[in-house]
Amino acid sequence: MDTRCKNRFVATTKEKWDLNQYWYSANTIASLKKEVQEHATKVAFLSTPSVWFSLENSDIKNRSFFFDVPFPHFLISLLMICLWIRSSSCKNIVSEAAHWMSLQVDSQWEKHSNFVYWNYNQPSEVDRTMHHQFDCVVIDPPFVTREVWAKYSEAALLLLKEGGKIILSTIPENAEMLKHMLNVKRQAFQPSIPHLVYQYAFFTNYESANFSFPNPEVDS
């Protein structure tokens, strides 16, 4: 029997590798969705857009936000300047490129009222009205380094209410560092991230029944 489920976000959203976008598998998203829908009421999804898009509980979905960068704006600006400099001889190319880029930006997540433009390099640049408002954060950064995790930890602690739940994925080697930063513990369930070469683990700061057994999708 084929137990793989389908996911609309994964099927329709191309991963942008310049942003290190690696989506969880449909089954892993289903497990995360079950977990947050059982344990949370308002979630901050830090660099985990696939899970927000996949939520079925509309109350939780409407109250929650996904924090991400939809497109590398600085790259667009740089490209626009380069094209503008060369524009005297290639007017058509410039207008074609501008059109293509505006489509790229428009078609991204900015139109969603639950999207928050947030760059982990400025972790605390979050509207004050969002401080300590969430009872759960779900985190999957584009990098696994200490510097990057320090920034995600700062943002998570700013957004979470006291006693809020943390679910994150990263390499198992980060266990000790993340114990100190966010008091999280490795879980038995490992996420499947089909296009990522590393095998990640899930970590939480609470006992999770859903993540207490191995993921049949992942070879252990």
Ligand X SMILES: C[S@@+](CC[C@H](N)C(=O)[O-])C[C@H]1O[C@@H](n2cnc3c(N)ncnc32)[C@H](O)[C@@H]1O
Residues contributing to the site for ligand X (CB under 6 A)? 19-24, 47-51, 68-69, 118-121, 140, 142, 193
Shortest spacing between CB 131 and ligand X, in angstroms: 18
Residue nearer to ligand X on the CB measure, 6 or 88? 6
CB atoms within 10 A of CB 135: 18
Which token pair is 40? 């949370």
Pairing state between β 134-139 and 201-204: unpaired
Helices (H), 64-214: 73-85, 91-106, 146-159, 175-182
Task: Pick the closer one to ligand X by CB: 94 or 112.
Answer: 112
Nearer to ligand X, 83 or 144 (CB): 144
CB of 94 to ligand X, least distance (A): 27
Which residues are registered as beta bridge partners of 139? 46, 168
**Cα maximum dimension of the chain:** 63
Least distance from ligand X to the Cβ atom of residue 152, Å: 9
Q: How far is the CB of 123 from ligand X (least distance, A)?
A: 9
Closest to ligand X by CB, 22 or 206: 22
Q: What is the C-alpha to C-alpha distance for residues 194 and 99, in angstroms, rounded to an integer? A: 32
Name which of 159, 140, 160, 144 is nearest 47 in CA terms. Answer: 140
Question: Closer CB to ligand X, residue 23 or residue 134?
Answer: 23
Instruction: Single out the residue of 45, 9, 29 nearest to residue 191, CA to CA.
Output: 29
